[in-house]
């Protein structure tokens, strides 16, 4: 008896999904993708991050889905809105108003019929500087390069190493304090998917795994600090940070992006 328990503590439990389960995750992810897409035209200078929260929650509920983040470990909102030097988990607020030149990452998760979808984008507000543009471009590219390594038979850290390699080749740094994750009937399942590491380590990638891959990239050094609200992560050196995330399913035909229209 004790031995069985011990095994469960030692080994990570990666849940393989059936086709029917992947269809349900895909339905949740479609809502995430559509709302993130519609946000691209909603976001503009002058609105507050609380306005984005209101808009997004309304659209989630219109589609009969539930905001996945609200109440998660006490998180107070439906989305995370992280502006400029904020890395992730920024809490929407009446007092944060977007202005020309900002970059903002929106992280959105929903539950539909018991299954989760999770995605994030970083968007420029008006005319942003060259460094910010490059940071967003490299972070999104790193996400796609990571996804391209999410091939059945590879290992988890092959994704990690691919992301890190692209980011560092471009002079930026990957955040170590937060990682991507398995997803399904829970927002966070095993395995963890770091955005750094040597290739060839960790769990073997299998057909039917569903993962949220989410590079967080700082223009400066990789360190982060948490604000007194207990959530908002900012760059330790004050540099800009970007974040992109997709939920994907691993298939024998290669990775399938679910949070894409």
Binding mask of the shown chain, residues 16 to 35, with x at each position contacting ligand MF3 by CB under 6 A: --------------------
Count of residues that interact with Co ion, criterion CB under 5 A: 2
The smaller minimum CB distance to ligand MF3, of residues 2 and 73, is found at: 73
Q: Does 75 help bind ligand MF3 (rule: CB under 6 A)?
A: yes
Stretch that binds ligand MF3, among 71-79, 96-104, 149-157, 192-200 (CB under 6 A): 71-79
189 binds ligand MF3 (CB under 6 A): no
Strand ranges inside the chain, DSSP E:
66-67, 79-83, 86-88, 103-112, 115-124, 173-174, 180-182, 189-193, 210-213, 216-218, 224-226, 233-235, 241-243, 246-251, 254-257
| Largest distance between two CA atoms of the chain | 62
User: Do the beta carbons of residue 225 and residue 236 sit within 8 Å?
Assistant: yes
Q: Which is nearer to Co ion, 51 or 118 (CB)?
A: 118
* Span of 69-77, 95-103, 164-172, 192-200 interacting with ligand MF3 by CB under 6 A: 69-77
Interface with ligand MF3 includes 89 (CB under 6 A)? yes
List, in order, residues 6 or more apart from 232 with CB less than 8 Å away. 82, 86, 89, 90, 91, 226
Task: Tell me if 107 contacts ligand MF3 by CB under 6 A.
Answer: yes
Structural contact between residues 118 and 106, judged by C-beta atoms closer than 8 angstroms: no
**Residue from the set 21, 51, 102, 118 that interacts with Co ion by CB under 5 A:** 118
Distance between CA atoms of 216 and 261, rounded to whole angstroms?
Answer: 22
> Footprint of Co ion on this chain (CB under 5 A)?
118, 212
> Footprint of ligand MF3 on this chain (CB under 6 A)?
69, 72-73, 75, 80, 89, 107, 109, 118, 120, 181, 212, 214, 245
């Amino acid at each position: 008896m004790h031995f069985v328990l011990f095994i469960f503590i030692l080994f990570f439990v990666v849940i393989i999904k059936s086709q029917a389960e992947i269809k349900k995750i895909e339905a949740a992810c479609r809502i995430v993708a559509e709302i993130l897409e519609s946000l691209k035209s909603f976001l503009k200078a002058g609105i507050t991050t609380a306005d984005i929260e209101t808009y997004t929650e309304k659209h989630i509920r219109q589609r009969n889905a539930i905001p996945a983040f609200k109440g998660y470990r006490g998180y107070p909102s439906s989305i995370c809105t992280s502006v400029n030097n904020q890395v992730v988990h920024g809490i929407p607020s009446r007092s944060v108003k977007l202005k020309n030149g900002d970059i903002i990452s929106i992280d959105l998760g929903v539950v539909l019929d018991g299954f989760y979808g999770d995605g994030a984008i970083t968007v420029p507000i008006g005319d942003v500087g060259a460094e910010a543009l490059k940071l967003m471009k490299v972070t999104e590219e790193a996400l796609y390069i990571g996804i391209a390594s999410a091939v059945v038979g590879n290992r988890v850290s092959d994704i990690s190493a691919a992301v890190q390699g692209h980011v560092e080749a471009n002079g930026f740094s990957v955040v170590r304090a937060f990682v991507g994750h398995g997803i399904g009937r829970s927002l966070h399942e095993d395995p963890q998917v770091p955005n750094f590491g040597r290739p060839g380590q960790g769990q073997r990638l299998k057909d039917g795994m569903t993962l949220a891959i989410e590079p967080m990239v700082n223009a400066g050094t990789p360190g982060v600090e948490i604000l007194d609200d207990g959530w908002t992560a900012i760059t330790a050196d004050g540099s800009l940070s970007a974040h992109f995330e997709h939920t994907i399913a691993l298939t024998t035909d290669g990775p399938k992006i679910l949070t894409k229209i």
